[in-house]
Each structure stands twice: as structure tokens, then as C-alpha cells.
């Protein structure tokens, strides 16, 4: 077995074929982004693609968030140290946040794994650092703040990876970033945001959500309230689904859901299956989520226990990872929902109590988790420069822990990074060049929408178009 010293050396030796300065290379950007954007919309609910484009059209930042496939294509042409292990696959700064562990502790980590897949850890880091620079420009923080935050992300990742490299396997596996840790470490300006996040998470429960998104129907039954374009029922006048999703129009949707639930239950641990058996399904609706996920099939099920207490489960479609075509790795997965769940479990310190997967009637793959339960995201527009930098540090720290846990190769990664700012400076140079490329791509996207080559609809226009 290789010693710790040998593993650090293995990482340093990787600099010979992949110097850290080469991480500044932006990759395959001599391409037209429009065909790739169109390709990323294939297989989605057609009536929702215009809404997806509308959300991407808001700013260069929402455009960046909304199209992970484009950057995956570009990153395929960049050098890496050669280590392939589970990565997030869509690691921008809004795919981090707080959530509750099964023990009800509030922790911070990567929280979106739709695109998880074995790949180079550098790809996650590049997408994250570039997202901070794109967001800094969007928030008008100025170039100096953007540069400082990018370097903060990198130095935090570097320091945390070194800490993980010197830990035992169990210490790395059990390690977590709790909000109590963040509270103790926060500066005076950041502390207010941490305290507000904790208070918000404590309010985001199933019981609190119930009156906000449900109502009684004519028969007095509790159902999910339609609220276009965010949420609507699968049958009736508000549905936006295509003909190839005709099973979702069936008023007798319970027979379809029951089969999916049986398969889902089999993916849970026995004690969690036992708990789930205490709940009965009351209603099912379609939910439009995020920016990049708009148009994928996402269902929300309302369940109640014998006392009427609610449980909201989200069934989210799992498609082939956007990085799958660009990674030379042997990874055969039979079920895309299983891919998402296994990637999440191996990268997070703890995962959702009800995390599992299932298959829909047309063979579509889904993964399942709780909706909303103590989940919180950063409110970037509320951050001053110091808080934005603090958020960058915690994201860098969380990503390093996720990579160390998933790969088991923290010494090699740390050895490659080293103790200097060589990699940090290269990653900032990458982010600077890629942010400019993103703006050029955004301009071409805007032009395609103006010329009618792509149809984009705003939230308000979309809702007006589809009101019953």
C-alpha cells in the first residue's frame, strides 16, 4: 500500500504532463452555442422549453446556470491531471446550500446531482470558480471583488483538500460543514446571513408548506393548488404536457404512481420503507423547477399519515448526464435515477432520508427526495462583497470535502495543487476568459431569440399564455 508521502508525490508528478498553468485553457469554445442549447432541450416537455429559454434570457448569469451541456462540451478540450472520480457535473455556485440530515442537523454542501458522473475534479472546480466571476459581474461587485472571490474559492478548496489528505478515511467520510460551524466562524457582516438562513431552514418544513401550496377541492379533499407556471395538475384545463406524456393526463393517475412507488420503496433502507408505509398518497402535480431543469419532468406527491400530517415527495426526471459523452471513463449505469442517488450519497456527508429512485410508465427514470424540507439556498442579491467572499470560501470548502470523500484521493489532489497560488491563479485566468466567452454566447442566444430561431417566454407571459 502506498504511503501518504507517496500519494502526495503522485499528485506532484502529475504536474509533469499537466502543468498547473495549463488549467487556464478554456477548451473547445470555437463553436456555435445554439445547436448545443437546442440539443440540451431535446426530450423535455415541449411547451416548457420556451419558459426555460425565458429564464436563461434574464442575464448572462442565468444563461450560465441554465446550460451545463455547453460548458461540458468546452471542458472536454482542457488538460487534467488524469484522476477520474465521482463529480457533481454542474457545479455552479447556486448548486450549494443547506439541508437537513436524517438526524435533523442543518449542514451545507453541494446539493444538486442531476449531472453527477465520474469525471475530472478540475471540471467541477472550473465551473464553480467561473460561476462566481459571472455572478460577481451580474451583481455589479466590480472586477477586483470578482478576482478576490475566485481566489478565495480556490484557497479554501486548497486548504480543505490538504486537511482531508491528512485525515483518516473515516474522518473524511464523516466530516460535515454544519451551520453551527458557520455561525461560529462567521464575520460580523456574514453572521446576519447565517442566522437568517438557520431561521429560514427551521421554518421550511412539510407542515409549514402545506397551507402555502394546497387547498380543498369541491369534495373537501386536500389537493395541491395550481399556480402557473410553477405548479399544475397533470389532468384538466391547466396541464401543459405533450401527447407523449399522455399517461400523465390520466385521471386515474394513482395506478401509475403505485407501480412507481413500489419500485421506489425497494431502493430505500428497510427502516425508511417502514416509515414511508405510514403515509398515503393524496395528490400529484407537476412542478417546474430551477433554470437548467425546466422542461424535465418533475412531480410532487402529497402524502398524509394517519393524523393528517403531510409529507411532500419530489419525483424528478433523471436524464443522461451532460458530461457522459465527454468523459473517457468506464461507467455503465442501468438507471439514471440510481446514478443521481449514488453520486449524491458518495459526495454528501449525509443525504435525504427518503432519497431513492424509480421508473415511470414510459420507462423514464426518476429520483425521489423530500420537497423543500429544511432546504435553503444563498440569496446572492442580499450579499455585500465580504459576505459574497465568505460564501465563496464555504463553497470551496464544501466542494473539496465532496471530492475528497468521493475519490479517496485527497493526497494526490492536494499534491497536485501544492502550497502556492499557481493553480488558483490559473483557475482565475480560466474564469476570466470563460466569463467573457459566456457573455459572447449569451449575446448569440439573445440574437437567436430575437430572430425567432429560439422561442423564449417570460414568467408573466408564459402564465398569461396558459391561464385556463
* 440 vs 245, higher pLDDT: 440
Mean pLDDT confidence for 349-375 = 93
Answer yes or no: are the C-beta atoms of 42 and 52 closer than 8 Å: no
| 48 Cβ contact list (under 8 Å, min separation 6) | 229, 240, 288, 294, 295
Q: Please tell me the pTM assigned to this model.
A: 0.95
Give me the pLDDT at residue 246, please.
58
Query: Confidence band (pLDDT; 50, 70, 90) for 232?
Result: confident
Give me the pLDDT at residue 267, please.
98
Give me the pLDDT at residue 11, please.
98
Give me the pLDDT at residue 1, please.
80
Give me the pLDDT at residue 379, please.
93
> What is the chain's mean pLDDT, rounded?
93
- Identify the weakest region by mean pLDDT among 109-118, 193-202, 345-354, 434-443: 193-202
Mean pLDDT confidence for 392-421 = 98
Give me the pLDDT at residue 354, please.
98
Kindly report, residue by residue over 160-214, the tens digit of the pLDDT.
Answer: 999 999 999 999 999 999 999 899 888 888 888 899 999 999 899 998 998 999 9
Give me the pLDDT at residue 188, please.
83
Could you tell me the residue ranges of all domains in the chain? 4-203+376-465, 206-370
Give me the pLDDT at residue 247, please.
58
Give me the pLDDT at residue 248, please.
56
- Residue reference for cell 409529507: 311
CA angle centred on 338, ends 337 and 339, rounded to 5°:
90
Tell whether the model's pLDDT for residue 305 goes beyond 60.
yes
To the nearest whole percent, how much of the chain has pLDDT over 70?
97
Query: Confidence band (pLDDT; 50, 70, 90) for 361?
Result: confident
Cell for 201?
A: 431552514
Mean pLDDT confidence for 287-297 = 91
Of 296, 297, 300, 299, whose CA–CA distance to 311 is shortest? 300
Query: Confidence band (pLDDT; 50, 70, 90) for 80?
Result: very high
Tell whether the model's pLDDT for residue 425 goes beyond 60.
yes
Amino acid at each position: 500500500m502506498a504511503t501518504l508521502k507517496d500519494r502526495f508525490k503522485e499528485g506532484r508528478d502529475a504536474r509533469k504532463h499537466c502543468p498547473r498553468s495549463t488549467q487556464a485553457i478554456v477548451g473547445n469554445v470555437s463553436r456555435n452555442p445554439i445547436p448545443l442549447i437546442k440539443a440540451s432541450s431535446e426530450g423535455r416537455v415541449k411547451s416548457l422549453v420556451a419558459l426555460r429559454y425565458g429564464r436563461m434570457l434574464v442575464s448572462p448569469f442565468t444563461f450560465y446556470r441554465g446550460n451545463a451541456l455547453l460548458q461540458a462540451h468546452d471542458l472536454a478540450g482542457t488538460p487534467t491531471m488524469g484522476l477520474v472520480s465521482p463529480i457533481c457535473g454542474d457545479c455552479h455556485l447556486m448548486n450549494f446550500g443547506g439541508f437537513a440530515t436524517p438526524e435533523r442537523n442543518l449542514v451545507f454542501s453541494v446539493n444538486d446531482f442531476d449531472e453527477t458522473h465520474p469525471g475530472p475534479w478540475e471540471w467541477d472546480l472550473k465551473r464553480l470558480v467561473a460561476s462566481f466571476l459571472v455572478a460577481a459581474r451580474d451583481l455589479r461587485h466590480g472586477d477586483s471583488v470578482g478576482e478576490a472571490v475566485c481566489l478565495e474559492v480556490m484557497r479554501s478548496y486548497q486548504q480543505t483538500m490538504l486537511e482531508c489528505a491528512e485525515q483518516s478515511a473515516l474522518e473524511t467520510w464523516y466530516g460535515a460543514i454544519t451551520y453551527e460551524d458557520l455561525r461560529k466562524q462567521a464575520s460580523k457582516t456574514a453572521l446576519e446571513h447565517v442566522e437568517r438562513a438557520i431561521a429560514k431552514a427551521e421554518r421550511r418544513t412539510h407542515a409549514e408548506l402545506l397551507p402555502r401550496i394546497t387547498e380543498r377541492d369541491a369534495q373537501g379533499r386536500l389537493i395541491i393548488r395550481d399556480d402557473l407556471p410553477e405548479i399544475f395538475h397533470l389532468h384538466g384545463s391547466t396541464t401543459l404536457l405533450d401527447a407523449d406524456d399522455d399517461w400523465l393526463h390520466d385521471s386515474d393517475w394513482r395506478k401509475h404512481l403505485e407501480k412507481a412507488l413500489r419500485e421506489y420503496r425497494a431502493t430505500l433502507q428497510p427502516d425508511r420503507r417502514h416509515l414511508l408505509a405510514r403515509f398515503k398518497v393524496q395528490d400529484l402535480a407537476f412542478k417546474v423547477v430551477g433554470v437548467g431543469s425546466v422542461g424535465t419532468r418533475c412531480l410532487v406527491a402529497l402524502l398524509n399519515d394517519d393524523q393528517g400530517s403531510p409529507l411532500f415527495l419530489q419525483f424528478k426526471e433523471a436524464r443522461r448526464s451532460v458530461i457522459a459523452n465527454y468523459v473517457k471513463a468506464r461507467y455503465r449505469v442501468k438507471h439514471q435515477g440510481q446514478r443521481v442517488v449514488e453520486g449524491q450519497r458518495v459526495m454528501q456527508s449525509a443525504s435525504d432520508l427518503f432519497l431513492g429512485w424509480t421508473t415511470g410508465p414510459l420507462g423514464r427514470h426518476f429520483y425521489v427526495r423530500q420537497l423543500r424540507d429544511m432546504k435553503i439556498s444563498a440569496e446572492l442579491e442580499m450579499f455585500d462583497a465580504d459576505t459574497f467572499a465568505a460564501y465563496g470560501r464555504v463553497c470551496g470548502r464544501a466542494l473539496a470535502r465532496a471530492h475528497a470523500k468521493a475519490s479517496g484521493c485527497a493526497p494526490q489532489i492536494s499534491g497536485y495543487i501544492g502550497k502556492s497560488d499557481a493553480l488558483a491563479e490559473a483557475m482565475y485566468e480560466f474564469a476570466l476568459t470563460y466569463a467573457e466567452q459566456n457573455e459572447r454566447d449569451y449575446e448569440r442566444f439573445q440574437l437567436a431569440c430575437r430572430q425567432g430561431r429560439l422561442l423564449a417566454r417570460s414568467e408573466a407571459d408564459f402564465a398569461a399564455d396558459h391561464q385556463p
